């Protein structure tokens, strides 16, 4: 074995070479996923030169060590000064090799990883391989020749679809699409690759350069591409890179290969420089960093196989489905037989809908339901490893449930509550084992929404926190650690931004303008649409609950209360902030709501003023960032990225903006603080700048500096 890495490369080498007769095997070994950092790129180049220089070598074989072939460019290098050799250069050198280059793919061959494989002359895949060009998810396009080579291997339209979807193809689909030449059974890419390399050499096969191939569907593909461009403009509203991907594919159809590469390079650099790329890369890492919390690193998780869910309403049933989907055994408990029957129906409804839509095979449904039991007796969950309570949101009801759990559950069982705002310490006090009590705040529908707030009370044991994070991983959730306060991270911040939205309505904006401005910003829905979807009565109950603690000087807008007093709770009652004639799911503006808002203004002597969409976004976001800073300052969220992940995965925040705190960094914190101070002239109580935000501005720092420090 010899080291093929460039001088100065770190040890251990990330690309090693071995000679197997006439074949030089280059193995990329750069855990965890063989990302194409500078050392790997230099190592690949060195391996090519080694093969070229050695007359006894007739072919080069590329394989990945560990669980991936190559997962792509090293995402951590984006935004930093580029270091040679560049990946396009490496791919060009591979393709130009005078000796055949073979890629043997197992595991992930994604982004730049697939581009390396496409620059090779021959490709095989093992059964578990995943081949894809997911750059679009990071605001990018394949920038190392992928946009020019993929169309030549699989056709322009299928290549465009692969790049626009960002979804990988499994080995068999990649074979059918023409991305790989053969599928080989087994789990050793080196053995499979060496056997094929010898076979190719025996046949006298030479280099077969992808760049020299014609695009198979060249005739007529341009028209199809235009249709795809129109469809993409509708689907990926506001996103920059999808249209650039289409431009690259157009270049593959209309320009010679070299010119196509140059076009790709120019467009790739535009994407790389875009704020969307910065936001999406932040989201990629935030999704993974959230799981790194002190307790999960300090203590091993308790084993969990048997889960009990208390309460079979929409939330409880969703949680039961999420647990069944994760391979766990689940017992659903309800207080009596009729309630249990409703719970059973709720669970079945979810699975039946999945089967009806062809998203789940009937056998898979049966396999999941085989792990499911239901009961009305607490004794039947005595052996559960973890219990999730999802009953009515009332402290006394929950305390009664926890007293029962304390009575029946085995020692060491984790006892979780799905409360969205109640005091978990008070719930834990209903048991003699507060060290086992934790909050698991799922979002509805619980089997779909990826956010899981893990609420950590003062007395909980670290291994219970670790268990909650391990469960989240199993359920493929994005777990965010939150401290105990009213609303935890998400609902607490949401309550404040909702107030800012209400203030704007009372000051003269219509709820429809507010919703439109925030949808144009990128939110999936405007805040008033969200109220109508969730049910206006929920927020009304919260406002009433909080009324005694409300600062008497605080501004309180009553328009929402006026709607609720009329029984207008949103979609479920056919009207709320919007009208929903005959069960429509999309609301229509309601002149009566505007008249109610007007009447409230008159009653309070407010002279209405107009708001531009930019005014609306500035106020809404400033409120979000200011409260986010407060949540950080109080230690409710560990890091700014935890708040970002909360809003990205639980509240429809546009992923390409990276989350509210990342958005603030990209605006510049001085600007956000200046906005808050300007708004404070009208309402100094609501717009009190958070000291942490002032401190960061004074020190010339941003929120991301707190992510790095943590
Ligand atoms: C590109 O290639 C651009 C080129 O076209 C042009 C260049 C000119 N870089 O997800 P996991 C880390 S764009 C750096 O938990 P899994 C990840 O942060 C790239 N780091 O594992 C995590 O670190 P930590 C196109 C990376 O098994 C660890 O690896 N490629 C990269 O659930 C494990 O990751 C992509 O977009 C990377 N490329 O899933 C693929 N990838 O342990 C992105 C991963 O410190 N990656 N890490 O938290 C993935 O989709 C998944 O990671 C993968 C594994 C499916 C590979």
Partnered with residue 375 across adjacent β-strands are 333
264 lines ligand 1 (CB under 6 A): no
Judged against a pLDDT cut of 80, whether residue 85 lies above it is answered with yes
The preferred substitution site among 14, 32, 241 for testing ligand 1, maximizing ligand atoms within 8 Å of CB, is 32
pLDDT tens for 344-356 read: 999 999 999 999 9
pLDDT at 486: 87
pLDDT at 29: 97
Please give the Cα distance from 422 to 419 (Å, whole number): 6
Please give the Cα distance from 692 to 626 (Å, whole number): 9
- Using alpha carbons, list the distances in angstroms from residue 324 to 171, 318, 387, 433, 476: 28, 10, 14, 27, 12
Question: What is the helix (H) or strand (E) element at residue 647, kind and residue range?
Answer: helix 640-650
The yes-or-no answer on residue 135 being catalytic is yes
Judged against a pLDDT cut of 70, whether residue 1 lies above it is answered with no
Please give the Cα distance from 511 to 195 (Å, whole number): 67
Tokens of 186: 């087994």
Specify the higher pLDDT residue, 296 or 689. Answer: 689
Judged against a pLDDT cut of 50, whether residue 520 lies above it is answered with yes
0.85 surpassed by pTM = yes
Q: Which of 95, 115, 289, 334 is the catalytic position?
A: 115
- Mean pLDDT, residues 377-382 taken together: 97
Span from the CA of 473 to the centroid of ligand 1 (angstroms): 17
267 lines ligand 1 (CB under 6 A): no
Q: What are phi and psi of 31, to 5 degrees?
A: -60, 155
- What is the crossing angle of helices 257-272 and 241-254, to 10°? 170
| Closest C-alpha to ligand 1, atom 40 | 71
Q: How confident is the model at residue 471 (pLDDT cuts 50, 70, 90)?
A: very high
Judged against a pLDDT cut of 60, whether residue 7 lies above it is answered with no
Decide: 389 and 395 in contact? Cβ < 8 Å.
no
The preferred substitution site among 37, 71, 283 for testing ligand 1, maximizing ligand atoms within 8 Å of CB, is 71
- Mean pLDDT, residues 179-204 taken together: 97
Q: How confident is the model at residue 195 (pLDDT cuts 50, 70, 90)?
A: very high
pLDDT at 236: 86
- Using alpha carbons, list the distances in angstroms from residue 223 to 141, 285, 532: 21, 38, 42
pLDDT tens for 118-166 read: 999 999 999 999 999 999 999 999 999 999 999 999 999 999 999 999 9
150 lines ligand 1 (CB under 6 A): no
Q: Which of 135, 499, 506, 600 is the catalytic position?
A: 135
Judged against a pLDDT cut of 70, whether residue 366 lies above it is answered with yes
The ligand 1 atom at the shortest distance from the C-alpha of residue 285 is 18
| Closest C-alpha to ligand 1, atom 42 | 32
pLDDT at 237: 79
pLDDT at 8: 54
**What is the DSSP code (8-state) at residue 637?**
B
Span from the CA of 113 to the centroid of ligand 1 (angstroms): 11
| Closest C-alpha to ligand 1, atom 33 | 32
466 lines ligand 1 (CB under 6 A): no
Question: What is the helix (H) or strand (E) element at residue 17, kind and residue range?
Answer: strand 15-20
Q: How confident is the model at residue 2 (pLDDT cuts 50, 70, 90)?
A: very low
Judged against a pLDDT cut of 60, whether residue 3 lies above it is answered with no
The yes-or-no answer on residue 699 being catalytic is no
Judged against a pLDDT cut of 60, whether residue 10 lies above it is answered with no
Using only C-alpha atoms, the chain has a radius of gyration, in whole angstroms, of 29
Judged against a pLDDT cut of 70, whether residue 11 lies above it is answered with no
pLDDT at 592: 97
pLDDT at 446: 95
Judged against a pLDDT cut of 90, whether residue 297 lies above it is answered with no
Q: How confident is the model at residue 284 (pLDDT cuts 50, 70, 90)?
A: very high
119 lines ligand 1 (CB under 6 A): no
pLDDT at 255: 97
Partnered with residue 386 across adjacent β-strands are 307, 414
Decide: 112 and 73 in contact? Cβ < 8 Å.
yes
Judged against a pLDDT cut of 80, whether residue 300 lies above it is answered with yes
Is 538 exposed, middle or buried (CB count within 10 Å of its CB: 0-12, 13-18, 19+)?
middle
Span from the CA of 160 to the centroid of ligand 1 (angstroms): 22
Tokens of 671: 């600007």
pLDDT at 12: 82
H runs (alpha helix) in 326-388: 337-356, 362-369
pLDDT at 545: 86
- Mean pLDDT, residues 393-421 taken together: 96
pLDDT tens for 41-77 read: 999 999 999 999 999 999 999 999 999 999 999 999 9
Q: What are phi and psi of 234, to 5 degrees?
A: -75, -45
Mean per-residue pLDDT over the chain, rounded: 95
Please give the Cα distance from 195 to 462 (Å, whole number): 51
- Mean pLDDT, residues 590-600 taken together: 97
Judged against a pLDDT cut of 60, whether residue 569 lies above it is answered with yes
Q: How confident is the model at residue 542 (pLDDT cuts 50, 70, 90)?
A: confident
**HEC profile for 125-181?**
ECCCCEEECHHHHHCCCCCCCHHHHHHHHHCHHHHHHHHHHCCCEEHHHHHHHCCCC
| Closest C-alpha to ligand 1, atom 32 | 288
Tokens of 143: 């920038």
pLDDT tens for 658-696 read: 999 999 999 999 999 999 999 999 999 999 999 999 999
pLDDT tens for 220-233 read: 899 999 999 999 99
Is 545 exposed, middle or buried (CB count within 10 Å of its CB: 0-12, 13-18, 19+)?
exposed
The preferred substitution site among 34, 36, 75, 473 for testing ligand 1, maximizing ligand atoms within 8 Å of CB, is 75
Q: How confident is the model at residue 393 (pLDDT cuts 50, 70, 90)?
A: confident
pLDDT at 122: 98
- Using alpha carbons, list the distances in angstroms from residue 198 to 99, 153, 239: 13, 23, 46
């Amino acid at each position: 074995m010899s080291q093929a890495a460039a001088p100065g490369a770190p040890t251990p080498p990330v690309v090693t070479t071995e000679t197997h007769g006439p074949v030089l095997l280059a193995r990329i070994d750069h855990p965890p996923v063989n990302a194409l950092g500078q050392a790997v790129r230099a190592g690949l180049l060195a391996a090519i030169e080694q093969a070229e220089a050695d007359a006894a070598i007739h072919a080069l074989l590329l394989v990945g060590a560990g669980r991936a072939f190559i997962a792509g460019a090293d995402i951590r290098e984006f935004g930093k000064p580029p270091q040679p050799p560049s990946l396009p250069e490496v791919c060009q050198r591979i393709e130009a090799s005078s000796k055949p280059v073979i890629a043997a793919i197992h595991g992930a061959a994604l982004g730049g990883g697939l581009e390396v494989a496409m620059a090779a002359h021959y490709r095989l895949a093992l059964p578990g391989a995943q081949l894809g060009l997911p750059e679009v998810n990071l605001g990018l396009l394949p920038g190392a020749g992928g946009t020019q080579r993929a169309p030549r291997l699989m056709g322009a339209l299928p290549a465009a679809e692969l790049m626009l979807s960002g979804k990988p193809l499994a080995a068999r689909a990649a074979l059918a699409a023409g991305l790989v030449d053969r599928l080989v059974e087994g789990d050793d890419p080196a053995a499979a690759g060496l056997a094929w390399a010898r076979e190719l050499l025996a046949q006298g096969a030479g280099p077969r350069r992808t760049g020299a191939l014609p695009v198979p569907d060249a005739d007529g593909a341009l028209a199809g591409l235009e249709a795809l461009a129109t469809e993409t403009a509708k689907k990926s509203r506001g996103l920059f890179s999808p249209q650039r991907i289409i431009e690259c594919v157009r270049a593959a159809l209309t320009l010679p290969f070299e010119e196509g590469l140059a076009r790709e390079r120019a467009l790739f650099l535009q994407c790389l420089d875009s704020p969307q790329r910065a936001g999406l890369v932040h989201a990629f890492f935030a999704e993974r960093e959230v799981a790194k919390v002190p307790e999960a690193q300090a203590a091993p998780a308790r084993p969990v196989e048997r889960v009990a869910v208390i309460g079979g309403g929409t939330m409880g049933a969703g949680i039961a489905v999420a647990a069944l989907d994760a391979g766990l055994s689940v017992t659903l408990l309800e207080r009596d037989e009729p309630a249990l029957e409703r719970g059973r129906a709720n669970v079945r409804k979810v699975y039946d809908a999945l089967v009806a839509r062809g998203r789940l095979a009937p056998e898979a449904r049966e396999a999941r339901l085989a792990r499911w039991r239901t009961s009305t007796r607490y004794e039947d969950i005595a052996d559960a490893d973890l219990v999730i309570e999802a009953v009515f949101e009332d402290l006394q009801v929950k305390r009664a449930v926890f007293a029962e759990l304390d009575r029946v559950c085995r020692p060491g069982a984790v006892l979780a509550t799905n409360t969205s705002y109640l005091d978990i310490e008070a719930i834990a006090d209903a048991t003699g084992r507060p060290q086992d009590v934790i909050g698991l705040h799922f979002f509805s529908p619980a089997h779909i929404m990826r956010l899981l707030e893990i609420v950590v009370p003062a007395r909980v044991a670290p291994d219970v926190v670790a268990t909650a994070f391990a469960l989240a991983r199993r359920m493929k959730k994005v777990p965010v650690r939150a401290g105990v306060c009213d609303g935890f991270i998400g609902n607490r911040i949401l309550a404040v931004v909702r107030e800012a939205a209400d203030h704007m309505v009372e000051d003269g904006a219509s709820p429809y303008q507010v919703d439109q401005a925030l949808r144009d910003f990128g939110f999936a829905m405007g805040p008033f649409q969200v109220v109508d979807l969730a049910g206006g009565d929920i927020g009304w109950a919260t406002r009433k609950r909080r009324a005694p603690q409300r600062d008497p000087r605080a501004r309180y807008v009553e328009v929402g209360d006026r709607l609720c007093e009329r029984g207008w709770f949103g979609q479920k009652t056919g009207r709320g902030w919007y009208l929903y004639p005959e069960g429509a799911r999309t609301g229509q503006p309601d002149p009566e709501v505007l008249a109610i808002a007007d009447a409230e203004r008159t009653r309070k002597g407010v002279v209405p003023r107009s708001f531009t969409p930019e005014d609306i976004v500035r106020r809404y976001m400033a409120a979000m960032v200011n409260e986010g800073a407060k949540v950080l300052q109080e230690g409710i969220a560990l890091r700014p990225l935890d708040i970002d992940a909360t809003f990205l995965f639980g509240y429809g925040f546009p992923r390409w903006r990276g989350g509210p705190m990342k958005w603030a960094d990209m605006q510049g914190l001085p600007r956000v603080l200046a906005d808050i101070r300007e708004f404070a002239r009208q309402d100094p109580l609501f717009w009190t700048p958070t000291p942490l935000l002032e401190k960061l501005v004074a020190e010339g720092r941003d929120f991301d500096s707190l992510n790095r420090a943590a």
